[in-house]
Structure 1
């Protein structure tokens, strides 16, 4: 249940200082209700004759992490934010922002509007939303240049970097060491006692004192950012307004740019994905995963997957026992894990003492009997299902009753470990094609005799994924099935468009133009046409698709990159070129010359096929909501984040139109009953997400 306005923001007058504490129980996102509560509190403080100064402070989690992404497209939420901005910009009394923890995005902007800023030494500041094509909308393009000048302000605004207080110069007026709340209050009381009013941000001019240098920095930024996304150019224009326009006129210009940028499809697509990832993180925190009981984790295997997973676990502070064969020297294994830890730390921007962590937290063992001391066993070997089940039988009498057995695999397969253990097994299968790529995976949890998900295995698996920094999609059937179904559906649509008259490279080019990193035929060559045949063999009947061109090429031994020939030919540079054999096979499948489809039709036919398959996966309960399929498609099928994923994009194109495009194809790819029912009932994928998230 959400907090009331009075619970979001509390006020307490101490002497002549009004202490306003922000606390939404999490990270103080600037939702509509939060902005209203804070604005009301400020107005009350400004109207109180006994108050000389306002001290604004966040909870122990931080100051504020900025926009509530799921609300920012709502006009009433925008207006609530803008009213808060105006209250601070026109404050009749000085406001002091006391920042500990994170001040990101609009949270940082709110602090910048205050007359003074205090910070703890560990505070962090930045504008991460620029990576979501979302520019500042709460004044930062006007406030930062006034304090720092053009070049330092643009570095913060354009790059989305996170910085500490000592990197911000005039932005931070003082650092508070020791007890932060008490220190900030003493600072505010001293200022109030001296009746210091501060300087309103509209009157700050330090960064604008040299207009020529300011303009020179703007010109340099435009040249350096000429190929950047449009949001960068919007920010540069708004920063120029800080020099050319009065403060409030600059705010108005920034506000209009924010509204325009926020409404762009690429920004809304990226925010859709980020909101869903944050929802999962919040759900994991609410589930209390820190008490998951995973004190020591055993990792089986000497594969790249095993080393990367062990490294990630070590970097997040877990104790790991890695089991290796007697043929491999322990020091060589230790070196490989240390090397993986260094690479992973660079990827995630971690500052760790690798050698000490590995030495203290890593244990190497050649004896499976040592699994008696672990709370979870991760089988990361490259063995097949039969060998994994044999090993599970061997471990059944060793692994403690409270421990879960998790199989991590890149194969679409499921292990029945209940029989292997001879008791109800707390087990899971995680489908992870490549731990070095993507940020999501599918997982399947074993069930109790009553048919329910095993609660211990579920909590421990979710905790494991949090530690591995993976977005886990829980599937009711075989792990890897959902992503496989989407890939096969996309490839089937592409083949049918090709058989209908379009060239292979034309189809790939159209989809790259829409927003995928590589077209379906390019992706198929990288997966391997022989591997695709294996995926088909592993998939249940309801997910079977018709891929005559894939089968014909695979039968001829042209299976993609590995054979340097598939849908394309590959030479030493590994750049795909037209494959005459693929064209011959395609011509043999065509009944006539057909029609060369437009790019728009190609995109809509492919989106229609994915929407059709997605509706079935949802109706069958294989996944719980479309947003999870969007994240899988971005991470594993190469859809760019700007698209928001295929199901977000399908809504933008209109499901009815996609259904008609699908019906215009061959009879074996007609809309299924689940997709038709969605459209008849006036539903779309966004509505299904809202329903799953409990949003009215």
Structure 2
């Protein structure tokens, strides 16, 4: 035993307490302490069984991922699990909080599993680019069968206690004193001489077609990533290999994946997301506890924000100035709750509770009750300033006034009030009730308390907040604009929308930039370009293709035509010869002769454009940490997580080679291109 694991005696039962705050990560010290405890249990004849239990909020939330970037320290988890199974005495896992990854693998090796209500179990390793490496792929199928194990492991599913009981993953749910109940169960098993080891169970037989169907579905959902295929291979081996051979094969696959670049990229994002909301300006600042949230604007975004706040348990005022729009918005929110009830994802009682906390009103005086007011109206500076002038007259002193602007100048919005210290940006991503990311924007006068309250509200909404400075497009839209602009350059030079989109989808984006533009609506970016026209450098390279599409009424999916054409009622893009003709005319107007592109060149230029803009963002102080930019791109813009983000990609390069590549990009891009400082990209957070 050691400081992370202690053995406490309860009569003839050893209670092994894992105490490695904050989440009881399965570090080398924890593994060593558990191995010592199992040796004590084996040797001490006065002990007849044991209970494994976590101190603090949970059992074991998974491995200590910091160890994955170095050679794994001894003892490793398979040795601990072998000691649990070989101790000759019953061991009961008492689960509460999170029992995930290696923590759940340890629990599966125990002779019984008891769970407190609220426990969550699962093997989510695939989401980190690896597979369970301590028996998860071999023991789980012995309970749930091969097809379901493939779905659970490849889907990185987390299962609540009640579902885990139904699946046979836990033996009982204990609503009372978990430790006492687990000790009693271990003692009863010892008296009965009962040691039902999971490794001794046969794998349930199943039709080959069912396994093939589960594997096909998992590969499709997981986009064929290496960890998904490896998990399928390891799980399938459980059906025909002796368990020790299956365990050895699993461990080999795990070790190979652990040192892969993909796993490193996913770990990079894991740590970056964990740290994203921390900001020096918030150190020592107490956040207010927002309970009453007002949303001004009952359109799609306003309703999505309201749904998110209701899901978080907040009281929500939905405010509009048009009665019909208000009725439509309130109905949309209630129908969202009703649809979740119909799908089984929400109980009728919970839906009724959310509906009861929604107050729809045309009375602006009701804003006086709100802790946070979130403006979600049309993306036009004058409109937002008008709203903030009106909000200021009604909001109580100290209330936080937040704009959901996606690219406008927050300081210009705040200038419409006499309390700019209370103004922040809360840039939700659409659909707000689904997308996890929120950019929390710090204006020139934003107080630390207002900013901290915005972060606290985002966290309460189960969002991922990233603090950003106030600059055009903040982090995400600024980098994405540079990416899209480079793709437009390539259109002008000879690529087609379909080739660009296909190349970037093959790289890993869910959609290419031109399909995304059509889905969002080309008029949104058009208005943005029109607003910038007066300040644009007339010598800078400017691509007119998107403007010409908008002038022709091709505004995207909603108009049935944009970069692509769309059959009525569908969002399926189809290449359109009329667009190719329009692009050819734009080239001819500039005297440009088209050339051919490879998909590799398309991806290279698009990624370099992102990296360069990232360097410029960092130089401007818009993002405090390089990794924050990767968090935003991966969670708000579909950047493939297994590639880590533009910062992670840049750090895989030698500095001199990256400088040469950016110099090449500058030559490709022409007048107006600003070269970023590579040192900013490669500096540690």
Q: Do Structure 1 and Structure 2 share a fold, with TM-score over 0.5?
A: yes
The 5 Å alignment of 1:37-436 reads 37-76=33-72, 80-161=76-157, 162-165=159-162, 167-168=165-166, 171-192=169-190, 194=191, 196=193, 198-202=195-199, 204-205=200-201, 207-208=202-203, 213=206, 218=211, 221-222=214-215, 227=220, 229=224, 230-280=226-276, 292-325=288-321, 327-328=323-324, 334-342=330-338, 349-351=345-347, 353-382=349-378, 384-416=380-412, 419-423=415-419, 425-436=421-432
Between 495-504 and 121-130, the greater mean CA deviation after superposition? 495-504
Query: Is the counterpart of residue 585 in structure 1 residue 586 in structure 2?
Result: yes
Q: Does the CA-based 8 Å contact 1:445-1:457 persist in structure 2?
A: no
Q: Does the CA-based 8 Å contact 1:242-1:250 persist in structure 2?
A: yes
Residue 676 of structure 1: how far off its partner (Å): 3.4
Aligned counterpart for 1:442 among listed residues 439, 444, 460: 439
SS at match of 2:662: helix
Aligned counterpart for 2:505 among listed residues 505, 512, 516: 512
Within 1, Cα distance between the matches of 2:313 and 2:74? 40
SS at match of 2:623: coil
Q: Does the CA-based 8 Å contact 1:630-1:647 persist in structure 2?
A: yes
Within 1, Cα distance between the matches of 2:435 and 2:325? 31
Residue 303 of structure 1: how far off its partner (Å): 1.7
Distance 1:91 1:153, change over 3 A: farther
In structure 2, stretches of 5+ residues that fail to align are none
Partner of residue 20, structure 1: 16
Partner of residue 626, structure 2: 626
Within 2, Cα distance between the matches of 1:542 and 1:345? 53
Partner of residue 547, structure 1: 542
Aligned residue pairs, count: 668
The 5 Å alignment of 1:485-524 reads 485-524=478-517
Within 2, Cα distance between the matches of 1:348 and 1:199? 35
SS at match of 1:253: helix
Partner of residue 615, structure 2: 615
Normalised by the length of structure 1, the TM-score is: 0.83
Within 2, Cα distance between the matches of 1:639 and 1:312? 24
Within 1, Cα distance between the matches of 2:57 and 2:504? 42
Residue 255 of structure 1: how far off its partner (Å): 0.6
Within 1, Cα distance between the matches of 2:452 and 2:341? 26
In structure 1, stretches of 5+ residues that fail to align are none
| CA deviation string 1:60-99 (max 9, x = no partner) | 5222232344543433259633443343344354322111
Residue 674 of structure 1: how far off its partner (Å): 4.4
| CA deviation string 1:387-424 (max 9, x = no partner) | 43344334435422221111223453325466544345
Normalised by the length of structure 2, the TM-score is: 0.85
Distance 1:261 1:181, change over 3 A: same
Within 1, Cα distance between the matches of 2:537 and 2:101? 46
Distance 1:151 1:636, change over 3 A: closer
Within 2, Cα distance between the matches of 1:613 and 1:305? 28
Within 1, Cα distance between the matches of 2:34 and 2:627? 32
C-alpha RMSD of matched pairs (Å)? 3.9
Distance 1:281 1:170, change over 3 A: farther
Distance 1:373 1:521, change over 3 A: closer
Distance 1:447 1:330, change over 3 A: closer
| CA deviation string 1:483-505 (max 9, x = no partner) | 22212221332244445554443
Distance 1:171 1:660, change over 3 A: same
Within 1, Cα distance between the matches of 2:473 and 2:74? 40
SS at match of 1:29: coil
Between 401-410 and 239-248, the greater mean CA deviation after superposition? 239-248
Between 526-535 and 181-190, the greater mean CA deviation after superposition? 526-535
Within 2, Cα distance between the matches of 1:249 and 1:475? 51
Residue 461 of structure 1: how far off its partner (Å): 0.4
Within 1, Cα distance between the matches of 2:539 and 2:131? 44
Between 570-579 and 466-475, the greater mean CA deviation after superposition? 570-579
Within 2, Cα distance between the matches of 1:553 and 1:473? 35
Between 610-619 and 357-366, the greater mean CA deviation after superposition? 357-366
Residue 542 of structure 1: how far off its partner (Å): 10
Within 2, Cα distance between the matches of 1:220 and 1:493? 41
Residue 622 of structure 1: how far off its partner (Å): 0.3
Q: Does the CA-based 8 Å contact 1:27-1:64 persist in structure 2?
A: yes
Within 2, Cα distance between the matches of 1:134 and 1:441? 28
Between 143-152 and 275-284, the greater mean CA deviation after superposition? 275-284
Q: Does the CA-based 8 Å contact 1:104-1:126 persist in structure 2?
A: yes
Within 1, Cα distance between the matches of 2:420 and 2:344? 37
SS at match of 2:511: coil
Residue 620 of structure 1: how far off its partner (Å): 1.6
Within 2, Cα distance between the matches of 1:385 and 1:347? 40
The 5 Å alignment of 1:656-695 reads 656-667=656-667, 669=669, 674-678=676-680, 684=682, 688=683, 691-692=684-685
Within 2, Cα distance between the matches of 1:472 and 1:61? 23
Partner of residue 576, structure 1: 575
Within 1, Cα distance between the matches of 2:627 and 2:124? 22
Within 1, Cα distance between the matches of 2:503 and 2:514? 12
Within 2, Cα distance between the matches of 1:454 and 1:348? 42
